[in-house]
Structure 1
């Protein structure tokens, strides 16, 4: 007996029921970490039926082969794809929300939708990756290692730091165990590279890693900092490591006193704390963050990348955790927020650190309450340093302005709609 023939109405009804069953089944498999490709009935580009269960990775490749991109959240939940949009079902700790990501979302330069964000692919933890390693920096025991993340072309900024706070008497006093070093990425400009090679040979304080030195690669630079300290300072682990930038003033004297009054502890991560900051969706912003990079409403609390302090053990814990967390291009949010949270380390605020530019007053920069100031040009750095060191400077009666201990909501990664800081 041949197959039973169905009327047109019966056929349409059965097809509709089959489509509904397929969608229900796909959602059930989604929860189990498996997937089946289905035709959601109205897509302009139908999906071919997969006749058997397959591993998540293989299924994703099958879907991509149809010309449709698939976006996954951090938990690797599968999305139901159509030709116009991708409906993703994200399961979060506190709530389950349905989010819709359009294919028209602007990609981040250097980190497109399909670019791997596995940190291990770039950091290569099993390989020696430094182009200029400078292992002698950690040849002896160090109390404080200050690592300045510097753009490869910023030779003048590095020179200004060497001539000012980077060579203050407390730094040059070798008995105190303070070292200052610069961390650079790679460049395809042979002239600049020749200058960097000469600079490194002359001063012995330039570390260069093999990633392309761009703004959207700053996270790689910070993770490479963690890798370098973990790799080259194993026998002489610094008590403390400071990460800062080449447009910063650092009062090393005040920082040294601040660290000396406390017993060397563990799990320290301290700087200028940013709380309840929201991702910026404006593609014109320097700090634009597409949803495929971060799907949450707010960032975890984090420290401004302009300057923060880590205890020696924190460096290793952050490095190991970073190898397991998908890369995010805003390095301070990533390292001191996402990675720190995964490592079980809580970032803490200290009002001596700021991401703001302080007024150029030598009495202010000498004041015991000041450790950092931001956005100084090399010329300004030299000028304020000269005024600070002048024997004629009289700061009698000077009172430093009151500094908020927490972000007032004007940091680069805080949405303009945020009215008040929410650090508790």
Structure 2
């Protein structure tokens, strides 16, 4: 499952650089993480994203190569890096590789990367059962290339994220960043699904225990950026499971950090939320949106959010 790392392709700010790995030239953080068997070399990287200063929030978005429309929708809406004046955010799409891609598909991805500088691609196969690999590699990138960030949010490409609400109401950039903080849609009594027809089936061989640890849904969770390196460091001693959110919960338990429910009123929704102008201006996540839905609902919310009075609007409902 974890092949040897063979090469290191990096996309710079102005050109594509292809070179063989040179371990002696890597800094200590990269060297340390690349000794782990499931931290892969980059085929596309943005190592200088934080050179102009550490961001307040990093958005780590899992995606696949073919989801170009979704990436573009996110760039135009909740993933804008200049969304809030004075609050530095950073957007990164996490991708693996597929040996069936054509040369034209790979060329298109390289061109997209050179245009937007927000794609991180590594040498693992991009499959659902490699989602834990994808997220761990993203956390390794944070720890290696942007350790001074305040917070990270991991989410998916079919999500609507209330970035402004998240930053102003939950993370609060005018206050000192919290340490060892982890929150999202909290699963308190999660249990492995033994039904083989389920997408989330977990065999007794993979996970023999009857209960999962505390964990937050992988649709969107937020955490202190300093936890990224701690999770990567402890990961070799944690039983590997393909459900990324459960695996991160296992790592947090190992390092003694307990995920917490978000404050009342900051909604992390694991299902799609029925759109209302004021409702969407006061949620963190809504799940299962198409690129067109993301753009249209974002634009409508921007037009009408300033007319909302929080005490008068009811919470949105899920469907």
Q: Same fold (TM over 0.5)?
A: yes
Aligned match of 2:153: 242
Cα distance in 2 for residues equivalent to 1:400 and 1:195 = 44
Aligned match of 1:111: none
Aligned match of 1:338: 250
Q: How does 1:97-108 map to 2 (within 5 A)?
A: none
Segment drifting more, 261-270 vs 204-213: 261-270
Aligned match of 1:399: 313
Report the Cα offset of residue 362 of structure 1. Answer: 2.2
TM-score, structure 1 as length reference: 0.61
Q: How does 1:165-314 map to 2 (within 5 A)?
A: 165-167=78-80, 170-171=83-84, 173=85, 175-188=86-99, 189-190=101-102, 191-234=104-147, 237-257=148-168, 258-260=170-172, 262-314=175-227
Q: 1:123 aligns with which of 19, 34, 39?
A: 39
C-alpha contact (below 8 Å) 1:240/1:310 kept by paired residues: yes
Aligned match of 2:19: none
Aligned match of 1:390: 303
Cα distance in 1 for residues equivalent to 2:175 and 2:202 = 38
Cα distance in 2 for residues equivalent to 1:324 and 1:138 = 30
Q: What is the root-mean-square deviation of aligned Cα atoms in Å?
A: 2.2
* Count of residue correspondences: 275
Aligned match of 1:414: none
Cα distance in 2 for residues equivalent to 1:297 and 1:217 = 23
Give deviations 1:246-299, integer Å, cap 9, x for gaps: 011111111111211643121111111011111111111110111111000111
Distance 1:402 1:248, change over 3 A: closer
Cα distance in 1 for residues equivalent to 2:314 and 2:221 = 21
Cα distance in 2 for residues equivalent to 1:293 and 1:403 = 36
Cα distance in 1 for residues equivalent to 2:182 and 2:217 = 11
Report the Cα offset of residue 402 of structure 1. Answer: 7.5
Q: How does 1:366-377 map to 2 (within 5 A)?
A: 366-367=281-282, 370-377=283-290
| Matched residue SS, 1:185 | strand
Aligned match of 1:359: 274
C-alpha contact (below 8 Å) 2:81/2:89 kept by paired residues: no
Aligned match of 1:318: 231
| Matched residue SS, 1:287 | coil
| Matched residue SS, 1:180 | strand
Distance 1:393 1:176, change over 3 A: closer
Larger Rg: 1
Where in structure 1 are there 5+ consecutive unaligned residues?
1-118, 405-424
Report the Cα offset of residue 361 of structure 1. Answer: 1.7
Q: Which runs of 4+ in 1 moved over 4 A?
A: 391-394
Cα distance in 2 for residues equivalent to 1:274 and 1:262 = 28
C-alpha contact (below 8 Å) 2:143/2:226 kept by paired residues: no
RCO comparison, higher one (Cα < 8 Å, 6+)? 2
Give deviations 1:127-160, integer Å, cap 9, x for gaps: xx11111012121221111111112221111011
| Matched residue SS, 2:240 | coil
Distance 1:202 1:403, change over 3 A: same
Where in structure 2 are there 5+ consecutive unaligned residues?
1-34
Report the Cα offset of residue 352 of structure 1. Answer: 2.1
Q: 2:291 aligns with which of 351, 356, 378?
A: 378
Give deviations 1:370-415, integer Å, cap 9, x for gaps: 11111111111111012112269844574132889xxxxxxxxxxx
C-alpha contact (below 8 Å) 1:187/1:193 kept by paired residues: no
C-alpha contact (below 8 Å) 1:363/1:398 kept by paired residues: no
Report the Cα offset of residue 169 of structure 1. Answer: 5.1
Aligned match of 1:158: 71
| Matched residue SS, 1:390 | helix
